[in-house]
A and B are shown apart, each in its own frame.
Chain A
Amino acid sequence: MAIFARPRQALAIAGAIGLALSATACGTGSSSNGGTSDADSAECAPYETYQGHDGKTVTIYSSIRDIEADRLAQSWKQFEDCTGITVNHEGSGEFEAQLPVRVDGGNAPDLAFIPQPGLLQRFAERDQVKAASAETKAMAEANYPADWLKYSTVNGTFYGAPLGSNVKSFVWYSPKMFQEKGWTVPTTWDDMIKLSDTIADSGVKPWCAGIESGEATGWPATDWIEDVMLRTQTPEVYDQWTTHEIPFNDPRVAEALNRAGTILKNDKYVNGGFGGVRSIATTSFQEAGVPITAGNCALHRQASFYANQWPEGTRVAEDGDVFAFYFPAIDPAKGKPVLGGGEFVAAFNDRPEVQAVQTYLASGEHANSRAKIGDWVSANNKVDLANVANPIDKLSVEILQDDSSVFRFDGSDLMPAAVGAGTFWKGMVEWINGGDTASVLQGIESSWK
C-alpha cells in the first residue's frame, strides 16, 4: 500500500523535517556556562589541587533523588565553577538493581554512591571497580574514622571514601505527649519496656512500626534485629554474624530476634492505629510513625532520616511535636552501640578528573558545603557542628563523632545481596506474618552460600 500518493511530496516533507531538525540542533547545541568563577580567585583557593581538568565531565549514579539530589548538586557547584569539571549526577529508584546491569553491560558511570558494602565487594571481586587513588585514600584516612574505611576495603584494597551517613539507633517520640502524660525518656532497655507497659495500660498502643517499602519490603525489621543484636551481643559477635563466621541461625541471633519480638510481635504493644502485629508487614515505613502526631502511638524506632517523613508543619525539636531519643542499651556500662548506614563513593573509571572528584567528595570542604545546605549527616570528622542546623542531624553527628560510641554498619548491607537484600528481608516479612523464629532463621541460613 502506498502511504504517500506521490513520492516527491513525501520527499519534500521529509526534507522539511530534516531542515527543522538541524535548525533546532543549532539553537540548543550551545549551552553556556554563565556563572563560572575566576579559577584564580580567593574563593577558589581550596580547589587548587583539583584544577587542570577544565571542560571534562564526570558522571555519577546514585539512589539519591529529587530534593536531596538538588541539594547534592548544589553542594559541588563551587567545585565545578572553580575546576571547570562538569559533574552530572543521576539518581534512580532502581539503583541497586540497575547499577550491576550497567556495569556488566559496559555502561558504568564514572562514580557511584553505593550504600551497600556487600555490593561494593561484589564489584571488587569481579575487578569491575577501580581502586581509589593515593590522594583519595589519604584524604579519607584524614577525615573518617578507621571503622568506616574498613567497609569499603576489600582484600586490602581501598575503594572509596564514605559520603553521607545516617544513624539508625533512634526512637522517635512526641515530647509534647510525653510532657502531658508525665512520661520520661528511657535510658535503659528495661526502662523502655516499663514505659511501654505504662503506655499500654493507659489505652494507647505504645509502638508504631511498618516494614513495607515496595521492592525493599522488610528492611526496617532487619534494622530492628541488628540494633537489638548489637545490644545483646558484643560488637565482635555482631561482626561474626555479618561475615557469616557464625551461622545465621545461631542461638545468639535467635535471642536477638525473640527480644525484638517481645515488642514487635506483642499485640499489646503494636501497632498504633494500623491493626495487629501483622499490619506491620503492610504498613509503609514512611507512614508508620505518623500516628505519633495524632496520639495513636508513642514510640517509633527509625533512623535519623525519618525526620523528612513527618507531615508538613511538624516541628522536629527537643520541645517540639516530635523528636528522637537514642535507642537505649541493655547494659549502659558496656558502652553505647550505634547502628548506622551510609554510602561510599566508588569509581568505575580512573581518569584523572574522576579521581579529582572522588578525592574532593572525601574532603571536609565538600562535607561542610553539603551540611550547610541542610538535612544531611556525615561521619566526616571535619564537619563543623555549627553548619548542621537540624537538631536530629546535630545529635547524629555528635553520636558519630563521640569516641565512646561503638559504631557498626547496617548488617544487611554488609551481607551478600542474596541474603542482605533477599532472604533476610523476606524472612523478616515472614516472621512478622507469623513465622516462628527457628524456621525463619533456618531459611535465611540455608540461602547463604
Chain B
Amino acid sequence: MKRLARGVCLVGAGVGKFGAFPRKDSRDLFVEAVGELVASVDRGLDPGDIEALFLGNYSSDLFEHQGHLAPIVAHWVGLTPRAAVRVEDACASGGVALRQAVVAVASGLYDVVLAGGVERMTALPTEAVTDALATAGDALYEFPAGFTFPGFYAAMATAYAARYGMPYEALTAVARKNHDNGALNDKAQFGMTIREIMARRVAKARERGGPVPAWEDEREFLRDPAANPVVAWPLRLFDCSPITDGAAAVLVVAEEVARRYTDRPVRVLGTGQASDAALYGREELTSLRAAREAAAQAYAMAGVAPSRIRVAEVHDCFTIAEVLAVEDLGFFPPGQGWRAALDGETARDGRIPVNTSGGLKAKGHPVGASGVAQVVELWKQLRGEAGPRQLPGEVDLALAHNVGGTGQTCVVHILGRG
C-alpha cells in the first residue's frame, strides 16, 4: 500500500464568490480566493513563507486567450520568484493541483505550498464555451460525432436508466437537494432553492405584466420545457452545472510546521488518482472506472472504509454524475445511487451528506477551481466553520471526488481533523 513519505496538512483555505463577473479576469478572481485563505490562517500567514504555487486551470487559453497562466497569477498574489506550475486535467485540474502540492510537500522539497484553481468562463458566448468544454473529450472521435459535454453525461444517463430502471425525473432530486444547500452558501452562484428561483420568475413575470406562470410546485416547474429546457436529452437545464467564474485556494504544509499556523489543521489522510480512455474505450457507461480506482487508492492510504466518511463533496457537473459518484465511492451499491437524493440519504440530515456547499450544480463550476473549492468546503465542515450549512455533531472524516472530462481523470482526497 502506498503512503505519503511524511504527513501533510491544510492550514488555510479560501474561496471567492462564484458567479459571472464581466469586470474580473482570472488573476483578479484568484486574488480574492487568496484573500479569504490568508484571513483563515489562525496564527497568520507571512506570504513570504509560501515556496511554490500549483494552479489548477483547464483552459485560460480558450476562455481568455491567455496561456502560461501560473506565473501571472503568482505575480498577482505576490509569489514571484517562487515556482509556479499550472496543472491541467480538465474539470479535475483543481483536485490534481492539490494532489501535486501534497506530493511536493510529502517529498520534502517544500514545507509550505499554495494549491489553487481558477477559471473564468463567462466571457465567451455559450456555443464557444460548449466547444471549449467538449475538447475535454476526444477531439478526433467524439467531437465530430456531435457529442457535447452534457451529451456525454446524457449518454451515461440513458445507459444507467436502461440498466437500473431509473426514471429520469429522479435526477431532479439531486438538483433540488444541491440547490437547498447552495441557498445556505453565500459564495454560491445560485444561492437559491429551486422554489425561490420559481418565485423569482413569477415575480418578474408579474412585474412585466405578461402572463404569470402557474406552477403548482417544483416538480411542475422542472417539467415545464420553457422553465427547464432540454440541453442534451435526457438532461435539462437544471440537470447541468452552470458556466461560472471563480477561484479557490488551500495552504498545504508539512505536518511538522503545521502548528506554526494553527492548532486545528486538517490532515490529508489519503489521495488517489486514476485515468481512463474516452467513452469508446470503456467497458461500461454506468460507472467511472477511474473514480473507483482513485477511491480505492485513497481509502487504502487513509485506512478507512466508505461507511466511515461523514461528509463528501462529489463532482456533480450533471445530476447523473452525482448518482454515479455515490456508487463509485462505495456509499451506495450499484444501481441504488439514484434513490439516495430522492430518499434524503444525501441531504444534510441524511446518512451521508453530499455536496453541502451546493455542489457544482448550485455553487457553480469554474472548472479548474472546482476541485479546490470542494476541499475548502470540507475544511470548513471539519473545523465547524460552515455557518448555516454546518453539519451537526462530530465531523471527523471527509472526502472530495473530482472528475476530469467524462471520467478520463479522477482524483479523490480523504481529509481528517488534525
Partners in one complex: no
A-side residues, CB < 8 A to B, are none
B-side residues, CB < 8 A to A, are none
